[in-house]
Amino acid sequence: MTTLLVVLGVPAAAALVLAFIANWRLAAWLNVAACAVTLAASAALFVAERPAPGGLLLVDDFNIYLIALTAFVALTTAIFSATYIAHEVMHGRLTPTLLRFYHAMYQAFITSMLMALSADNLGLMWVSVEAATLSTALMVSLYRTPAAIEAAWKYFILCGVGIALALFGTMLMYLAAQPALGDGMAAVTWSSLLAQAAKFDPALLNVAFVFLLVGYGTKVGLAPFHAWLPDAHAEGPTPISAVLSGLLLNVALYAVLRFKMLLAANPKALAPGPLMIGMGLLSLSLASLMLYRRRDIKRLFAYSSIEHMGIAAFAFGMGGPLANFAGLLHMTMHSLVKAAIFFTVGHISQVKGTQRIADIRGLTASHPALGWALVAGVVAIAGLPPFGVFTSEFLVVSSTFARQPLLALPLAVGLLVGFGALMLRLHHLAFGQPSPNASTGRSVGLELSLVPVWLHLALALVAGIYLPAPLVAWFQSVARLLG
């Protein structure tokens, strides 16, 4: 329990401290230091004694790897952020006052996500996800432009509606559990709920899951509730785009999967698979087509995030050991690769002075380090071997083909359409004659900020070639938990 309290307490304390530090350079590196301590404590959870079930906090095989992944991406994003914001300050886009607010909200956001992942209480998880929504909405509007404020309001309103539906679903889940678990805290505690789920009223359980899937699915960015995501990614600071795609979407999907486990434990409840498969295929198909119409480079990869969360939702909807394994691996690989892409895109928009795809050409000639980093990231996220995204997508397609061949066809078509769009855009961005637009100059600290890019891509590459036996056994254990 002590180790978990450190994981949660360090970013919470850092948020309070950073709110009062006016020196933005010092704040940037204190932000990195706080994330490093959080990651070290998260790694210690693997060997530390786990909290006893039934309290407010929970550590099990499912959430422990997401806690560690969240802490790792938070650290690499903080390292990237330190150099990214230096460029923004030099060019007058951000002021020290705004950066004090930014760093405090960044740590508050990390605290909220870690709390949501480690909550053993439905209410605490809901409050944590709502806190993550509020902190990121404030950061999306950081540039204070009309477009940024509009994107923040759109994000707040749509996700606010979603989280309200999730709250109603949570209350229905409590009502379903009340006859079996009584009026106390046990009726909103994961460990108690899962043990007694077979005794719940299946009708209430079914209705509760629909509201929870729509509510938390809005935060996942699943179609047709995805409209907030492209605007929030395009108008907010790039480090926030990285953690939104790489972390927050995972947290919301984690919440959906926790409730899916309750339905799987009740033999009379509806099968949640078809609902998740339908939303997953819709997200994949819509996002793959929309990739062809994007004019903004950050919006392009925002729609790619919708596509990949659709793939993960589809995999978990299929269920079974192999599909669940593939879904867990896909969540991990998407977090690593998409964060690396946004790191690269952030500096590309800085050195080119624009996010418009039409104004960015020939990056491998004009800025080789950024150009080839983008090539590697797009190749990875498009699902080409030997990167880990290829492995997870191959497992999803093969397991679907073995069990439901008719569903494998739209899945494969969606993947191919998305692949074609990304390759088409990559050719324009990375190759050919460099664009003539005036560059804003070499990005500050580019060498340092590319370290997280290559680290993420290296991990995705290793995962595509070789997964250690303990990691495979671990994913298999979680896949069995998911039903």
pLDDT at 444: 54
Can you tell me the distance from the alpha carbon of 392 to that of 383, in angstroms, rounded to the nearest whole number? 9
- Scan for tokens 């790039």, then name that residue: 238
Can you tell me the distance from the alpha carbon of 137 to that of 131, in angstroms, rounded to the nearest whole number? 10
pLDDT at 253: 95
Q: What angle do CA 452, 455, 457 make, to 5 degrees?
A: 110
Can you tell me the distance from the alpha carbon of 155 to that of 51, in angstroms, rounded to the nearest whole number? 35
Structure token pair of residue 78: 């903080």
Q: Which residues contact 246 (CB under 8 A, 6 or more apart)?
A: 73, 77, 334, 335, 336, 338, 339, 342
For 333-385, the pLDDT digits (tens) are: 999 999 999 999 998 988 888 889 988 988 988 889 899 999 999 999 999 99
Residue 64 burial by CB count (10 A; 0-12/13-18/19+): exposed, middle or buried? buried
Q: Which residues contact 311 (CB under 8 A, 6 or more apart)?
A: 280, 284, 330, 392, 393, 396, 415
pLDDT at 56: 86
Q: Is 152 within 8 Å of 137 (Cβ atoms)?
A: yes
Regions of the chain short of the pLDDT cut 70: 1, 54, 437-448
pLDDT at 440: 45
pLDDT at 211: 96
For 409-423, the pLDDT digits (tens) are: 999 999 999 999 999
What is the number of other CB atoms lying within 10 angstroms of the CB of residue 441?
A: 12
pLDDT at 1: 64
Can you tell me the distance from the alpha carbon of 111 to that of 264, in angstroms, rounded to the nearest whole number? 30
Q: What angle do CA 271, 276, 281 make, to 5 degrees?
A: 135
> Following CA atoms 189, 190, 194, 200 in sequence, which dihedral angle do they give, to the nearest 10 degrees?
50
Phi and psi at residue 169, in whole multiples of 5°? Answer: -65, -35
Half-sphere exposure of 146 (CA within 13 A, CB side): 0
Q: Look at residues 463, 417, 429, 394 and name the one whose alpha carbon lies nearest to residue 307.
A: 417
Structure token pair of residue 356: 């418009």
Can you tell me the distance from the alpha carbon of 429 to that of 362, in angstroms, rounded to the nearest whole number? 6
Can you tell me the distance from the alpha carbon of 106 to that of 236, in angstroms, rounded to the nearest whole number? 13
Structure token pair of residue 160: 């606010």
pLDDT at 475: 87
